[in-house]
Amino acid sequence: MQAIKETHFQFKGQTGFYRGKVRDVYYFGDTMAMVATDRISAFDVVLPRAIPDKGRVLNQIAARNLEATKNLVPNWVIKTPDPNVTIGFKCEPFAVEMVVRGYLAGHAAREYKAGKRLLCGVALPDGLKENDKLPSPIITPTTKAQVGHDEDISREAILSRDIVSEEDYLQLEKFTLRLFEKGTQLAAERGLILVDTKYEFGKHNGAIYLIDEVHTPDSSRFFYKQGYEERQKSNEPQKQLSKEFVRQWLIENGFQGKDGQKVPEMTDAIVKSISERYQELYHQMTGETLEPVQYETLSERIEHSIDNYIK
């Protein structure tokens, strides 16, 4: 099964390169070209096999949502010249990720089930069950770890440790809630509920920009709107549209990214099923069918698109 796991380009005028968990980034002074590869991560660990089509699915969904929100919050994008490539401003990222939750799901639900009623300094009411809507959206930031796991952190700790200045952090909170409101509206138009998501921000020439991907199945969790109430009343699991199915497969096979745990074997059948789920996610979120791609020439196409921009 063909997938683009890594790129190894050398461009004229290139000033740097960075390989993240799932992206390869080429720097050109104060701009950068970000290549969305088919690598996949979960529990902050890059899994051993890449997933065909994953990179372009996420990059194209992100491009749509960045375009749809740029009038609310300035973002880093200059151009999307290829389904796998985004070119934008090089920003200095803040060392926190702004996680916002409208429902008790995922990590928050696991913490709540363990008896915790304080999440990142935010108090949660008693009497909630998994996937219930919260009284109002809450912001539960995490540290942005270069290596290892991101960790929950409170607003108070961010300010007291001077991780982000108070002026900037208050702006990040405003941007976060503004984006979540818009994301909720966009999701509803597709018959979905935006459950939780994360936003990353950075600074470019002293101004705050939204960076990275926005409202994708990797950075967000969605429920299907139809049947949500009935499933909650019946205590049934919600029908989800997110990367949670990958996490659940890993959990069921004894892996949550903890020391000593081993990633289960990713057979061709598993890789194929994950790829098909990403294609389904694309269709549900865009209303379009993902067009087939010639993987034999994909790397050349990506390189050509970046080269053309530089020229």
Nearby residues of 46 by Cβ (< 8 Å), 6 or more positions away: 21, 22, 39, 40
- pLDDT computed for residue 146 by the predictor: 57
Going by pLDDT thresholds of 50, 70 and 90, the confidence category of residue 44 is confident
Find the mean pLDDT for residues 140-153.
78
The residue whose two tokens read 């803040």 is 94
Distance from C-alpha of 295 to C-alpha of 1, rounded to nearest angstrom: 10
Does residue 150 carry a pLDDT above 80? no
Distance from C-alpha of 281 to C-alpha of 285, rounded to nearest angstrom: 6
Hey, what CATH topology would domain 93-246 get?
D-amino Acid Aminotransferase; Chain A, domain 1 (3.30.470)
Mean of per-residue pLDDT scores for the chain: 94
The 10s digit of each residue's pLDDT in 277-288 is 899 889 988 999
Does residue 1 carry a pLDDT above 70? no
Which tokens hold the place of 85? 């490539």
- Number of helical H runs and strand E runs in the chain: 8, 17
Q: HSE, CB side, 13 Å, CA atoms: give it for residue 118.
A: 4
Judge if pTM exceeds 0.85: yes
Going by pLDDT thresholds of 50, 70 and 90, the confidence category of residue 147 is low
- pLDDT computed for residue 262 by the predictor: 94
The 10s digit of each residue's pLDDT in 83-112 is 999 999 999 999 999 999 999 998 999 999
Does residue 221 carry a pLDDT above 90? yes
Grouping H, G, I as helix, E, B as strand and the rest as coil, residue 77 is strand
The residue ranges of every structural domain in the chain are: 93-246
Distance from C-alpha of 73 to C-alpha of 208, rounded to nearest angstrom: 9
The residue whose two tokens read 């984006």 is 179
Count the neighbouring beta carbons within 10 Å of the beta carbon of residue 162: 8
The 8-class DSSP code of residue 95 comes to S
- pLDDT computed for residue 56 by the predictor: 95
Per the CB < 8 A criterion, the answer to whether 195 and 164 are in contact is no
